[in-house]
């Protein structure tokens, strides 16, 4: 599976958009980009995933560059409850085990 690179930590003001970047320059054609988050002492929560098109759901938007070498997760209006570690994971399908990196620790500030 392709490796991802994410910033170690980010801060965001409450009510503002949080933009979390992820580099995955070795992604292959059949690999999806998945985003999960983990709030302290809980299991990871699925957020969104995509292959090459931008995606949006009730939680977030996923913007994937045209060459698919990077992506950005956007939380449009961050709240304090969005404080968590966000993991960007690349893989061929959800049927395979996911390889977790270190993720980005997002701290939403009041």
Partner 1 sequence: GAVVSQHPSWVICKSGTSVKIECRSLDFQATTMFWYRQFPKQSLMLMATSNEGSKATYEQGVEKDKFLINHASLTLSTLTVTSAHPEDSSFYICSASTLLAGGTDTQYFGPGTRLTVL
Decide: is 30 part of the binding site for partner 1 (CB under 8 A): no
Residue carrying structure tokens 């969104």: 48
Shortest spacing between CB 75 and partner 1, in angstroms: 17
Decide: is 99 part of the binding site for partner 1 (CB under 8 A): yes
- Name 72's bridge partners: 21, 63
Helix (H, G, I), strand (E, B) or coil at 81: helix
Binding mask 34-73 for partner 1 (x = CB under 8 A): x-x----xxxxxx--x------------------------
Q: Can you give the C-alpha Rg of the chain in angstroms?
A: 13
Residue closer to partner 1, measured from CB, 25 or 45: 45
Sheet holding 70-75, edge to edge: 18-23, 70-75, 61-64, 55-56
* Chain residues that interact with partner 1, rule: CB under 8 A: 32, 34, 36, 41-46, 49, 87, 93-95, 97-103
């Amino acid at each position: 599976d392709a490796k991802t690179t994410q910033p170690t930590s980010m801060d965001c003001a409450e009510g503002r958009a949080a933009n979390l970047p992820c580099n995955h320059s070795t992604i292959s054609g059949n690999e999806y980009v998945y985003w999960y988050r983990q709030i302290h002492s809980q299991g990871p929560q699925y957020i969104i995933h995509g292959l090459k098109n931008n995606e949006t759901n009730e939680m977030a938007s996923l913007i994937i560059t045209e060459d698919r070498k990077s992506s950005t997760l956007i939380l449009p209006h961050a709240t304090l409850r969005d404080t968590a570690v966000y993991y960007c994971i690349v893989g061929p399908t959800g049927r395979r085990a996911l390889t977790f990196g270190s993720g980005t620790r997002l701290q939403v500030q009041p």
